[in-house]
Chains A and B, each alone.
Chain A
Amino acid sequence: AQSVAQPEDQVNVAEGNPLTVKCTYSVSGNPYLFWYVQYPNRGLQFLLKYITGDNLVKGSYGFEAEFNKSQTSFHLKKPSALVSDSALYFCAVRDLNSGNTPLVFGKGTRLSVIA
Chain B
Amino acid sequence: SAVISQKPSRDICQRGTSLTIQCQVDSQVTMMFWYRQQPGQSLTLIATANQGSEATYESGFVIDKFPISRPNLTFSTLTVSNMSPEDSSIYLCSVVIGSRYNEQFFGPGTRLTVL
Residue of A nearest to B30 (CB): A100
By a CB distance below 8 angstroms, the chain B residues around A114 are none
By a CB distance below 8 angstroms, the chain B residues around A87 are none
Counting chain B CB atoms within 10 Å of each CB, the highest count among A34, A46, A100, A103 belongs to: A103
What's the least CB distance linking A22 to chain B, in Å?
15
A99 in contact with B100 (CB, 8 Å): yes
For chain B residues 30-60, which have a beta carbon within 8 Å of chain A? 30-31, 33, 41-43, 45, 48
Name the prevailing secondary structure of the B interface residues.
strand
- A57: interface (CB < 8 Å): no
B33 in contact with A43 (CB, 8 Å): no
Counting chain A CB atoms within 10 Å of each CB, the highest count among B43, B94, B101 belongs to: B43
Which size class do A's interface residues fall under? Answer: 20 to 34
Known: A100-B30, A102-B48, A105-B43. A44 touches B92 (CB 8 A): yes
B100 in contact with A43 (CB, 8 Å): no
Sampled A-B contacts (17; CB under 8 Å): A34-B104, A42-B108, A43-B92, A43-B108, A46-B105, A49-B103, A92-B104, A99-B100, A102-B31, A102-B33, A102-B94, A102-B104, A103-B104, A105-B43, A107-B41, A108-B41, A108-B42
Given A43-B109, A102-B48, list of 6 further CB < 8 A pairs? Answer: A96-B101, A99-B100, A102-B31, A102-B94, A104-B45, A106-B42
Interface of A toward B, CB cutoff 8 Å: 32, 34, 36, 42-44, 46, 49, 51, 90, 92, 94, 96, 99-108
Interface of B toward A, CB cutoff 8 Å: 30-31, 33, 41-43, 45, 48, 92, 94, 96, 100-101, 103-109
7 interchain residue pairs of minimum CB distance: A44-B106, A43-B108, A107-B42, A105-B43, A102-B33, A46-B103, A105-B42
